[in-house]
Each structure stands twice: as structure tokens, then as C-alpha cells.
């Protein structure tokens, strides 16, 4: 287990909001697109139950 393992969807969303991201739109399936208007950045977040895999969190970062 790495340092990024063990985070749930709600915890990730809380952290994204702290960094200025806002919900932008629903993507395919259970994925959401979040947008930071200050930095003009997009990121895709899977809305799945359970812990987020470490590789997925690295891709989000």
C-alpha cells in the first residue's frame, strides 16, 4: 500500500473543492468532470464505491 491508497470518493471531492475545483459535468457512466476556473484545469473523477486505486489517484493528480 502506497501513500495514496485508502481514499474514498467523498474525501477526494472534499480535497478538490479545497483546491478550487467545481463540478463541471457528468461524463460517461459513473465518471464526473471537475474544473478549476482559476488555473483552467480539468480532471475526471470516477464515482465508485470503496477505496480509489492508487494508480487512479496518481492520474487525477
Please name the residues in contact with 20: beta carbons below 8 A apart, sequence gap of 6 or more.
36, 37, 38, 39
Q: Could you tell me the sign of the dihedral formed by the alpha carbons of 9, 13, 19, 23, in that order? A: positive
pTM for this model (two decimals): 0.83
| Domain map (residue ranges) of the chain | 9-60
Let me know the angle formed at the C-alpha of 55 by 50 and 58, rounded to the nearest 5 degrees: 105
Cell numbers standing for residue 39: 488555473
- Consecutive H or E run containing 32: strand 31-36
Architecture of the domain whose range is 9-60: 2-Layer Sandwich (3.30)
Query: What pLDDT does residue 1 have?
Result: 63
What pLDDT, in 10s, does the model give residues 1-57?
678 778 899 999 999 999 999 999 999 889 999 999 999 999 999 998 888 888 888
Amino acid at each position: 500500500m502506497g501513500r495514496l491508497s485508502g481514499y474514498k470518493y467523498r474525501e477526494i471531492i472534499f480535497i478538490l473543492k479545497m483546491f478550487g475545483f467545481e463540478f463541471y459535468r457528468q461524463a460517461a457512466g459513473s465518471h464526473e468532470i471537475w474544473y478549476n476556473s482559476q488555473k483552467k484545469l480539468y480532471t475526471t473523477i470516477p464515482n465508485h464505491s470503496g477505496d480509489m486505486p492508487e494508480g487512479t489517484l496518481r492520474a487525477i493528480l
